[in-house]
Amino acid sequence: MAERPKNYDPKEIEPRWYAEWMARGYFHADAAAPKAPFAIVIPPPNVTGVLHMGHALGTTIEDIFTRWRRMAAYNAMWLPGMDHAGIATQMVVERELRETEKKSRHDIGRAAFVDKVWEWRQKTGNRILEQLKRMGASLDWERTIFTMDPPYSAAVIEAFVRLHEEGLIYRARRLINWCPSCRTALSDLEVDYDEGTQGELYEFGYPLADGSGEVVVATTRPETMLGDTAVAVHPDDPRHKAKIGKMVKHPLVKREFPIIGDAILVDPKFGTGAVKVTPAHDINDFETGQRHNLPMISIFDDAGVVNAEGGEFAGLDRFAARKAVKARLRELGLERGSKPHVHAVGHCQRCETIVEPMLSTQWFVKMEPLAKPAIQAVEQGKTKFVPETWSKTFFHWMNNIRDWCISRQLWWGHRIPAWTCDKCGEITVARATPAACGKCGAAQLKQDEDVLDTWFSSWLWPFATLGWPNETRELKTFYPTTVLDTGYDILFFWVARMLMAGLHFMKKVPFRTVYLHTMVVDEHGDKMSKVKGNTIDPLDVIDKFGADALRFALAWLTTSAAQGKNIKFAVSNVEDASRFANKIWNATRFALMNLEGYDPDRFADWIADGPDRAELDLPERWILSRVQRVSEEVDTALEEYRIADAAQAAYHFIWGELCDWYIELAKAGFQRAGTDVEARSKIQGTLVTVLDTSMRLLHPFMPFLTEEIWQQLPKGSGLPQSIMITLYPVRDVRFHDDASEASMALVQKIIVAIRSIRTERKIPSAARPAVLLAINDDYKKTILEGYKTLIAEQGRCGEVRVRRTGASFSGEFVLSKMAMAMAGDVEVMIPLEGLVDTDSALEKLKKDKLKLDSDIAYLMRKLSDGKYLSRAPLEVVDKDKAKLAELEAALSKMLIAIDRLKKK
Ligand SMILES: [Zn+2]
Ligand SMILES: [Zn+2]
């Protein structure tokens, strides 16, 4: 057999297998296949996207589920695609245009600009999908969909037209969130609130028109007084009650307006108890304006610059206007005070510009009728959230839902299918350009300039990707999808809206389970950001350690996600996973070097009715039973969406039981068997069987390594070409062997006890001491009698004697020179006479003790130093405390050892 490399090298192996899987069409699911469906749609990354840790995490989770179900004989389909990401993409292309041609989008016009975006998409738009391939994602690439593809666009238009026909989409002049930099409307969700913004509560006096005094108002935005159309006071406020109904004279623009009483808007305890009302630039004032029929005066243009309504301040930007208005008020002697004030300020999610509430005519979706069925579906358990706690958040938002502003003043996106008649102003909504106005018959129609919010196309994703509105085979087979995996940050943006759209258009929930993962943050818990420089590029990690190691590390770390905590990620996690890969590689290497003469078909026959217990030795019976139990554990964990538990169970078995124990037992077994072909083939068969099962078990987590190893294992006849399409290990009670597991557990405990005595007493490794086992249980005693050879081999000792507790070993050994340890209820004793030089051992122990004493003293001093405790970060102090506890434990063990030696 050719020498295999000592270290696993993912660089060569990963791309090779991915290409092979693609070429063989393993990722594709045929909608007509007579198998139970399992479907996941990818949260479509933005076409501008570059693979980050969040994508890596989602890809890992979704691929684990897909590969696992595919191996369990489901018709597993994982659908890839991309989002056109309206505003994000438009910004990228605009920037490029500015940099390369020194032009704005307005310079080249709408049609040419949209062409530019398509050109850009052609050039770089597949980058993220190519990067997903590096992760090993088994996506059904034939089904790749882009939200701007013609069939998908048709679905978007269809949804708009239907909702409009049903009265669920309407056009209205409303107060909306406006980004003066992006110059578009935003939905409520696209506004990020900075809760702790340091601002100013500014007070000024409005003179009463009849000259009888003034009313002092408090505001965080003095410049909006240019658009005030009332002052409101609480109707029961004794300070202001008498002023209700009087008129105020605006000091800066020629206007008079009333003082009104309004118990909803005014909190008499806040500020002066009187508030200015600007219906066109504040949502609460807008509602007040509607209650009192106040004029609504917009004072800003699209860029946030004061318009003609602002009189002398026209032409000033919002923030310059604030300064100018305050200066004028001071000049006029109307300034009344100012104090610092912390409040929440809304920023544009895209560009961080402070959002301006503006009165604007936009399209809206009426949400309440759509939300009700979605709330019900979750209440009835038709869709479940994992972790379950998210349903509370979901209900809260859904029960307080507001109408959704869906029109955007952008060029890149699905243009709104509404046409205005030049002649009569009638608006016609249609699936295709109408030939004539429905009302007056005129042929001059102009299409709405706006496009739809990107999320208006993504909320159709689970069914528009499968061919809706056509009744396709795909829809029939794969809708509702099985599980949706996504970050909790888009629960409202996307998940809740998909539920609403799915129930409305398909009459069925779009997915049975929503698995919400948390965010990947750096090892200190800080958000990864380019500005902070703490981002980790998944592609760099893959280059260094391989995709398998990255995937395994992420799967392991989903423990925190299950607890709703962010995932703290460090490259060291991937290094650990990479060591795991190497460990497996080396165990396989050992197996393959010892397979001469092995016949897989013969071994398969042999254990066809379960392992023949009389024929196989304890280590073989034990490991065959263990791999079976762990398979069940992993399978159950995956069924319950406990990904980390599944990964950890597989890891502990493969590393701890297979590599650390069984490989050692097999080495001794081969030695014992010598040239006995039958004895050898029992061990060979067990090694191959357990490795084969372990690789299949681990495949969803580490697809490349497992495929590479699986291919090298000798296989019986009639097996598939790839691990990807073999069966996932299933429950098989024939291999359950409680008795062997119990016996082996006992034997392992004894071996561990022997090893620890050897280390503690510094017994030279070449020494083969006798071992005396005392036990107060006849049944166990009989078992141990049977495994003396095993114990001697693994404990590297000579003779092993087993006695009832109390039965004397005297006469055979010097009892005072005996080292003792407990292994459960078994006393493990090793006679030390002649093995260790007690004097020098004592000397060495005493020296070690001095060092320990001084280390402990140092730490104790440190931890009682108030200055240190108040300055050092909590985790450093915790580390010191843990270290101290560790040293103290070591010291007490050492004292016992010294004591024992002294007695001799
Ligand atoms: Zn913006
Ligand atoms: Zn008309």
Query: Over 80: is that where the pLDDT of 613 sits?
Result: no
Under 8 Å between Cβ of 529 and 539: no
pLDDT band per the 50, 70, 90 thresholds, residue 826: confident
Residue among 674, 670, 672, 708 nearest 691 (CA) = 708
Q: H helices within 533-607, ranges in order?
A: 538-545, 547-562, 571-593, 600-606
| 438 Cα: distance to centroid of ligand 2 (angstroms) | 7
Instruction: Kindly report, residue by residue over 841-853, the tens digit of the pLDDT.
Output: 778 778 888 988 9
How distant, in Å, are the alpha carbons of 244, 250, 331, 334, 335 from that of 208?
Answer: 11, 9, 18, 12, 15
Instruction: Kindly report, residue by residue over 521-565, the tens digit of the pLDDT.
Output: 998 888 888 878 888 999 999 999 999 999 999 999 988 766 778
Q: H helices within 699-798, ranges in order?
A: 703-712, 738-760, 778-786, 788-795
Reduce the DSSP state of residue 151 to 3 states and report it: helix
Residue 17: predicted pLDDT = 97
Dihedral of the alpha carbons of 578, 582, 583, 585, in degrees to the nearest 10:
140
Query: Over 60: is that where the pLDDT of 346 sits?
Result: yes
| 425 Cα: distance to centroid of ligand 2 (angstroms) | 6
Query: Over 90: is that where the pLDDT of 651 sits?
Result: yes
| 407 Cα: distance to centroid of ligand 1 (angstroms) | 15
| 431 Cα: distance to centroid of ligand 2 (angstroms) | 18
Instruction: Kindly report, residue by residue over 227-262, the tens digit of the pLDDT.
Output: 999 999 999 999 988 899 999 999 999 899 999 999
Residue 123: predicted pLDDT = 87
| 91 Cα: distance to centroid of ligand 1 (angstroms) | 10
H or E element, residue 398:
helix 390-399
CA of residue 739 relative to chain centroid, distance: 41
| 406 Cα: distance to centroid of ligand 2 (angstroms) | 25
| 115 Cα: distance to centroid of ligand 1 (angstroms) | 23
Ligand located closest to 350 CA: 1
| 352 Cα: distance to centroid of ligand 1 (angstroms) | 6
| 346 Cα: distance to centroid of ligand 1 (angstroms) | 11
Residue 489: predicted pLDDT = 85
Reduce the DSSP state of residue 345 to 3 states and report it: strand
Place of tokens 């009389």: 614
Ligand located closest to 437 CA: 2
pLDDT band per the 50, 70, 90 thresholds, residue 821: confident
List Cβ neighbours of 729 (8 Å cut-off, separation of 6 or more): 627, 628, 631, 634, 635, 693, 696, 697
Question: If you average pLDDT over residues 602-622, what whole number do you get?
Answer: 81
Ligand located closest to 426 CA: 2
Ligand located closest to 356 CA: 1
Residue 837: predicted pLDDT = 67
Query: Over 70: is that where the pLDDT of 814 sits?
Result: no
Query: Over 70: is that where the pLDDT of 750 sits?
Result: yes
| 492 Cα: distance to centroid of ligand 1 (angstroms) | 20
* CA 10/CA 117 separation, integer angstroms: 37
* CA 178/CA 288 separation, integer angstroms: 20
| 72 Cα: distance to centroid of ligand 2 (angstroms) | 61
| 419 Cα: distance to centroid of ligand 2 (angstroms) | 10
Enter the pTM of the model. 0.84
Residue among 569, 571, 579, 576 nearest 540 (CA) = 571
Question: If you average pLDDT over residues 86-104, what whole number do you get?
Answer: 89
CA of residue 877 relative to chain centroid, distance: 30
Neighbouring CB atoms inside 10 A of 510's CB total 26
Residue among 121, 22, 124, 138 nearest 80 (CA) = 138
| 418 Cα: distance to centroid of ligand 2 (angstroms) | 13
Residue 809: predicted pLDDT = 63
Ligand located closest to 410 CA: 1
Query: Over 80: is that where the pLDDT of 4 sits?
Result: no
The whole-chain average pLDDT of the chain stands at 91
Ligand located closest to 445 CA: 2
Instruction: Kindly report, residue by residue over 323-343, the tens digit of the pLDDT.
Output: 999 999 999 999 999 999 888
| 446 Cα: distance to centroid of ligand 2 (angstroms) | 11
Tally of CA atoms within 13 A in the half-sphere of 549 that contains its CB? 29
Query: Over 50: is that where the pLDDT of 201 sits?
Result: yes
| 193 Cα: distance to centroid of ligand 1 (angstroms) | 14
Query: Over 70: is that where the pLDDT of 3 sits?
Result: no
| 594 Cα: distance to centroid of ligand 1 (angstroms) | 66
Instruction: Kindly report, residue by residue over 353-390, the tens digit of the pLDDT.
Output: 999 999 999 999 999 999 999 999 999 999 999 989 89
| 621 Cα: distance to centroid of ligand 2 (angstroms) | 85
Ligand located closest to 348 CA: 1
| 303 Cα: distance to centroid of ligand 1 (angstroms) | 11
| 363 Cα: distance to centroid of ligand 2 (angstroms) | 20
| 364 Cα: distance to centroid of ligand 2 (angstroms) | 23
| 191 Cα: distance to centroid of ligand 1 (angstroms) | 9
Q: What are phi and psi of 14, to 5 degrees?
A: -65, -55
| 340 Cα: distance to centroid of ligand 1 (angstroms) | 27
Ligand located closest to 302 CA: 1
| 436 Cα: distance to centroid of ligand 2 (angstroms) | 8
Query: Over 60: is that where the pLDDT of 2 sits?
Result: no
* CA 338/CA 364 separation, integer angstroms: 39
| 445 Cα: distance to centroid of ligand 2 (angstroms) | 8
| 504 Cα: distance to centroid of ligand 1 (angstroms) | 31
| 83 Cα: distance to centroid of ligand 1 (angstroms) | 19
Residue 86: predicted pLDDT = 85
| 45 Cα: distance to centroid of ligand 1 (angstroms) | 20
| Edge-to-edge strand list for the sheet holding 427-429 | 427-429, 418-421, 445-447
How distant, in Å, are the alpha carbons of 279, 282, 284, 299, 838 from that of 291?
Answer: 11, 14, 11, 21, 96
Ligand located closest to 351 CA: 1
Residue 418: predicted pLDDT = 96
Ligand located closest to 179 CA: 1
Sequence-distant contacts of 374-380: CB under 8 A, at least 24 apart: 374/398, 374/496, 374/499, 374/500, 374/503, 375/399, 377/499, 377/503, 377/509, 378/499
* CA 116/CA 122 separation, integer angstroms: 10
| 422 Cα: distance to centroid of ligand 2 (angstroms) | 7
Query: Over 80: is that where the pLDDT of 817 sits?
Result: no
What percent of the chain is predicted at pLDDT more than 90?
Answer: 64
| 448 Cα: distance to centroid of ligand 2 (angstroms) | 15
Residue 700: predicted pLDDT = 98
Question: If you average pLDDT over residues 431-439, what whole number do you get?
Answer: 91
Tokens of 275: 């508030």
* CA 170/CA 405 separation, integer angstroms: 10
Residue among 203, 223, 229, 220 nearest 286 (CA) = 229
Query: Over 70: is that where the pLDDT of 816 sits?
Result: no
H or E element, residue 830:
strand 826-831
Instruction: Kindly report, residue by residue over 854-868, the tens digit of the pLDDT.
Output: 999 999 998 888 888
Query: Over 60: is that where the pLDDT of 188 sits?
Result: yes
Ligand located closest to 184 CA: 1
* 611 or 278: which leads in pLDDT: 278
| 347 Cα: distance to centroid of ligand 1 (angstroms) | 8
| 456 Cα: distance to centroid of ligand 2 (angstroms) | 28
| 367 Cα: distance to centroid of ligand 2 (angstroms) | 30
pLDDT band per the 50, 70, 90 thresholds, residue 401: very high
Residue 169: predicted pLDDT = 97
| 429 Cα: distance to centroid of ligand 2 (angstroms) | 13
| 167 Cα: distance to centroid of ligand 2 (angstroms) | 21
Query: Over 50: is that where the pLDDT of 310 sits?
Result: yes
| 529 Cα: distance to centroid of ligand 1 (angstroms) | 19
Under 8 Å between Cβ of 308 and 297: no
Query: Over 70: is that where the pLDDT of 813 sits?
Result: no
| 423 Cα: distance to centroid of ligand 2 (angstroms) | 5
Q: What are phi and psi of 881, to 5 degrees?
A: -65, -40
Residue 901: predicted pLDDT = 67
Residue 1: predicted pLDDT = 43
Query: Over 80: is that where the pLDDT of 132 sits?
Result: yes
Residues, CB-to-ion distance under 5 Å, ligand 2 = 421, 423-424, 426, 437, 439-440, 442
| 180 Cα: distance to centroid of ligand 1 (angstroms) | 7
Residue 822: predicted pLDDT = 84
Residue 38: predicted pLDDT = 97
Residue 232: predicted pLDDT = 93
Instruction: Kindly report, residue by residue over 148-182, the tens digit of the pLDDT.
Output: 999 999 999 999 999 999 999 999 998 999 999 98
Dihedral of the alpha carbons of 132, 136, 138, 139, in degrees to the nearest 10:
10
Q: Output the CA torsion sign for 338, 320, 408, 443.
A: positive
Question: If you average pLDDT over residues 92-99, what whole number do you get?
Answer: 90
H or E element, residue 177:
strand 169-179
| 176 Cα: distance to centroid of ligand 1 (angstroms) | 14
| 451 Cα: distance to centroid of ligand 1 (angstroms) | 16
